[in-house]
Amino acid sequence: MTYQHILFDVADGIARLTLNRPDRLNSFNTVMHAEVRGALATIADGSKARVLVITGAGRGFCAGQDLGDRAVAPGGTAVDLGESIEKYYKPLIVTLRNLPLPVIAAVNGVAAGAGANIALACDLVIAARSASFVQAFSKLGLVPDSGGTWFLPRLVGTARAMGLAFLGEKLSAEQAAQWGLIWRSVEDTELAAAVDALARQLAAAPTRGIARTKQALYESWGRTLEQQLDTERDYQRELGRTADYAEGVAAFTEKRSPNFTGR
């Protein structure tokens, strides 16, 4: 397909999606939303890719919503921002979380507003040292959206979540990693290589096991320990019948590297 505001390809089990509006810091408009939604739909069943990498073109990851796209309705009245969340951002966040494959956010620059929370919706976040995360909503009199009020307290605790949300200050990638908001911060010159190595590692991993691990971890917040133990039992029962489990056991016994197929 030909896209106007994103780049997307799948090769060697790795899907790469680049937000491509660098002149607008890759902020979202309705066209970009539609293109991202269409691209993600092509890998939603897990048959075409075993890992997804999301990044931004140019000097930023994503500045969230392009305010010039839907800031006001005709006549100067404010648009229904709740409708925007329901129609565009909620489906995007839910889709990222529900993909049956690991999702890596390669944050190459500023991630602000919804852009910051789209990154946090991914399973692993690697950021360049010069990157930053900004909950910019308070500057507009808004509440953090795109899952921000859900992700932040779970990742960094209530006190830090309040500070980030109330003040809208930049959080450096290094500090984000120290706080546990993201997985890693690396030197700018090392970002591409670090992301590529991680993507290749995950593309060669037992995909169904990774997908169930992702699901079990995210859903654990809504379960008791006993319920989670039952979930682990059910997933182990299912995964114990897969070809990847058999291959993993054989490789361990034969003292060789496994050749997982994702099945």
pLDDT value, residue 73: 54
The Cα 51–Cα 68 span in angstroms is: 33
β-sheet bridge partners, residue 51: 14
Condensed to tens digits (0 to 9), the pLDDT of residues 206-241 reads 999 999 999 999 999 999 999 999 999 999 999 999
Burial class (CB in 10 A: 0-12, 13-18, 19+), 1: exposed
* Per-residue confidence in pLDDT tens, the chain, 263 aa: 789 999 999 999 999 999 999 999 999 999 999 999 999 999 999 999 999 999 999 999 999 999 888 655 555 556 788 998 999 999 999 999 999 999 999 999 999 999 999 999 999 999 999 999 999 999 999 999 999 999 999 999 999 999 999 999 999 999 999 999 999 999 999 999 999 999 999 999 999 999 999 999 999 999 999 999 999 999 999 999 999 999 999 999 999 999 999 98
Report which of 49, 107, 231, 170 is spatially closest to residue 41, judged by C-alpha positions. Answer: 49
Instruction: Give the chain's end-to-end CA distance (angstroms, integer).
Output: 28
In whole angstroms, give the CA distance from residue 53 to residue 184. Answer: 15
- Classified as helix, coil or strand, 138 is helix
> Residue 83 has which token pair?
């409708």
- The identity of residue 133, as a single letter, is F
The pLDDT of residue 80 is 85
Residues whose CB is less than 8 angstroms from the CB of residue 213 and which lie 6 or more positions away in sequence, other chains included: none
In this structure, how many other beta carbons lie within 10 angstroms of the beta carbon of residue 128?
22
Domains of the chain: residue spans and CATH:
6-203 (3.90.226.10), 207-253 (1.10.12)
Q: 153 near 120, Cβ under 8 Å?
A: no
Q: What is the DSSP string of 230-243?
A: HHHHHHHHHHTTSH
- Report the length, in residues, of the chain: 263
pTM as predicted = 0.95
Quick one: pLDDT at residue 30? 95
